[in-house]
Amino acid sequence: MEPLIESRNLRFTYPDGTQALAGVDFTLHQGETVALFGANGSGKTTFVLHLNGLLMGDGYVSVCGIPVAKKNLAEIRRKVGVVFQDSDEQLFMPTVLEDVSFGPLNLGLPPDEAFEAAKGALELTGMATFLDKAPYHLSAGEKRRVALAGVLAMRPEVLVLDEPTTSLDPHGQHSLAELLRRLPQPKVVVTHDTHFARAIATRAVFFQKGVIADQGDVDDVIRRFRWDPRLEAADRLAT
């Protein structure tokens, strides 16, 4: 089966000379939710920013068989929905409904269709009663759900979430895990939270110094990461 996302020998160096990715080979298939583990600075976020062309390094990346290249970015970004770690980066309109309908309107949908898509996404994320609320009045968990609704309103084929449990209390984390399990899209999830990863992921990969140093069953990767002294920052997954 052709992977929905594939990278081969993906490399990226920031302008200050920091090599963030040093040859990443990765695949995501239909039905998978893959947790990305690793210490801060290991390359996880840099990697996922390549999946919809926010960054473009050397090597090969494709989404649904389409190479991630400048000429394909509009199509790629319709297929890959990204929920950033800081929801405030995605919420900027006066009301929740306007925020969630912004993406569909940008895709060229007529206003009536865009608002219907937004309302459907808010219903799906449990935020349908917040249509007229100002996003900055929402709690951290509510903002996360609205940001996710904004992505879902564009009907992506793949979801990418960067540290989705940041600022969420245990109830919010549990509620988000339940929601993500209900969504049909394959997912790539950057996280340090092993409990959350166990709740949603079918597979895990471990980033170290810009490469994937380990991958496999979630519990197996966590166990090896804890016990292998060659792997740095083991305490990050020991909670």
pLDDT of 233 strictly over 60: no
Share of the chain above pLDDT 90, in %: 65
Of the candidates 132, 108, 106, 107, the one whose C-alpha atom is nearest the C-alpha of residue 119 is 132
Q: Which of 128-137, 151-160, 181-190 has the lowest mean pLDDT?
A: 128-137
CA geometry: angle 228, 208, 192, nearest 5 deg: 80
DSSP for 87-156 reads: GGGT--SSSHHHHHHHHHHHTT--HHHHHHHHHHHHHHTT-GGGTTS-GGGS-HHHHHHHHHHHHHTT--
pLDDT of 238 strictly over 60: no
pLDDT of 227 strictly over 50: no
Q: Which of 13-22, 29-38, 82-91 has the lowest mean pLDDT?
A: 82-91
Tell me, what's the pLDDT at 94?
86
- CB burial string 78-94: b at 16+ within 10 A, e below: bbbbbbbeebeebbeee
Dihedral (Cα; 129, 98, 85, 205), 10-degree rounding: 80
Of the candidates 111, 87, 91, 89, the one whose C-alpha atom is nearest the C-alpha of residue 100 is 91
13 against 136, higher pLDDT: 13
pLDDT tens, position by position, 76-94: 999 999 998 877 777 778 8
Instruction: Round to whole Å and give the CA distance between 202 and 21.
Output: 24
> What superfamily would CATH give domain 5-85+157-237?
P-loop containing nucleotide triphosphate hydrolases (3.40.50.300)
Mean pLDDT of 39-53: 93
Q: Taking a C-beta distance cutoff of 8 angstroms, is the pair 43, 50 a contact?
A: no
Q: Which of 128-137, 207-216, 230-239 has the lowest mean pLDDT?
A: 230-239
pLDDT tens, position by position, 133-170: 998 888 888 888 999 999 999 999 999 999 998 888 88
Share of the chain above pLDDT 70, in %: 94
Tell me, what's the pLDDT at 236?
41
pLDDT tens, position by position, 103-119: 888 888 899 999 999 99
59 against 84, higher pLDDT: 59
